[in-house]
Amino acid sequence: MVRSIVGLLEAVGHDRRGPGGMDEVLRSRDRSANSNVAPPHGLTLWRVSYGTETTP
C-alpha cells in the first residue's frame, strides 16, 4: 500500500499524472488503477508526528 501511494505521489509531483490522479485511484478502490508503484527498496520512515509531539 505504501509503495502504491508513494509511486502515485511521485507521478503527480513530476507531472506524469494530474493533481486529480490521487482522487481517481482512491475512488476507484482498485489498486490496479495505479500503474506507478515505488520500488521495494529505499522507503524509510523518518518520523511519526501526533499533534505537537514528534518521535524521531
Contact 45, 56 (CB under 8 A): no
Q: Which stretches of 6-56 are assigned E, i.e. beta strand?
A: 48-50, 53-55
Whether this prediction's pTM lies above 0.75 is answered by no
* Distance (Å, whole) CA 34 – CA 22: 9
pLDDT given at position 51? 74
- Residue 12 burial (CB < 10 Å; 0-12/13-18/19+)? middle
- Residue 15 burial (CB < 10 Å; 0-12/13-18/19+)? exposed
Please write the tens of the pLDDT for every residue from 1-56: 788 888 888 888 888 878 777 777 778 887 777 777 888 887 777 888 787 765 55
